[in-house]
Structures are given as C-alpha cells and as structure tokens.
Amino acid sequence: MDTIATRGTWVLHGIVTDGLGEAAHFMLMKWFRSQCRERLGINPSPGTFNLRMQGEHWQRLRPQLHHNTAGAHPALPVIHLAPPAGFCAASCYPVHIAGAIDAWAIVPHIGHYPHDKLEVIAPVNLRAALGVANGAAVNLAFNVTAPLAQRHRTAGEQA
C-alpha cells in the first residue's frame, strides 16, 4: 500500500440527488435517534441528504469510509452506530457542508452500496438550509488527520 501524503481538510464535491425514500422512516426509530443524540450529539432531521460524489479525493477517501467498520483507521474520526438485531450498523464521519453546516456522513455497513453515493445527516433539513435541489453542486469537507492508504495499481490502471 502506498500512502497519500495529504493531511488536513479535504474538500470533496457532490451533486444533490434523490435517495430511496427509506431514510426518513428509519431515522424516526427510537434506537437510531437515541444513538444520534448520545454518540453524535445531534437530534437529526428526518431523511438523509443524498450526494452523488465525484473527484480524485472521493476516489481516494471512499475505500477508507466503506471499509472502516472497526474504527481501525486513525486518519478519519469515526463513530459507529450499533443497531438492534435486524438492522445494519453504520460508520459516521464528521463533515462540514458548503462551508456552513456541521453534519455527519453516514455509511451503512451493507454490501453492494453504490460507489458514488454518500448520505449525510444533520440537525437541520440540509436541502432547505442550503437552498438546493437535485443537480446542485455541493462541497463538503472531511478532516483527514493522518496519511491514507492507497492500493497499488496494476499494470494498465490509470491514476
């Protein structure tokens, strides 16, 4: 594994998109709301703010987000939500949206999660607070505190 030397604030770019419409119901569940208050320090607005992510930083950061199920990567502050039986766990990462709102990127521990999808929760409805609709470009910042691992490329792969 190579490492990415960049530390500090990584600004990533996403496009606002619709989700599946399931998060609003899920986020009203008592166990989820309780863990968000106790572990994340927020009372989340129902539903997730869905982004279709793009760019080099996302390509480098995504594997860390989706494989950090044990909190093993010291470069990314993470809090895990542990559900009751029958629900999936999730890793939550602090982010700053559009230079204005502190929020949490939430990555469910499920197989076949779309490679370009990122869901964000916050104590406010992010679409309304930012005044955005589908197709709008939004920046979000992750705080990367140590070099990230990057897999070696095989012959013929592009950087």
Among positive and negative, which fits the CA dihedral 98, 132, 45, 27?
Answer: negative
Are 27 and 150 within 8 A, CB to CB?
Answer: no
Candidates 26, 55, 74, 64; CA nearest to 116 is 55
pTM, to two decimals: 0.80
The structural domains of the chain, ordered by start, are: 7-150 (2.40.30.30)
**5-14 average pLDDT score:** 77
What the block records as the tokens of 116 is 């370009």
Candidates 13, 123, 100, 109; CA nearest to 61 is 13
Q: Which long-range contacts (CB under 8 A, 24 or more apart) does 35-40 make?
A: 35/81, 35/82, 36/81, 36/121, 39/79, 39/81, 39/92, 40/79, 40/92, 40/104, 40/121
When pLDDT is cut at 50, 70 and 90, the band that residue 138 belongs to is very high
* The pLDDT value given to residue 32: 84
Query: What is the share, in percent, of the chain residues with pLDDT greater than 70?
Result: 76
**54-62 average pLDDT score:** 85
**2-9 average pLDDT score:** 55
* The pLDDT value given to residue 148: 55
Return the higher-pLDDT residue of 89 and 139.
139
**13-29 average pLDDT score:** 77
* The pLDDT value given to residue 151: 41
CA distance 72 to 82: 16
Judge whether residue 156 has pLDDT over 70: no
Return the higher-pLDDT residue of 117 and 61.
117
Pairing of strands 137-144, 8-17: antiparallel
Q: Where are the beta strands (DSSP E) in the chain?
A: 2-4, 8-17, 49-54, 79-81, 90-97, 101-108, 117-121, 137-144, 148-150
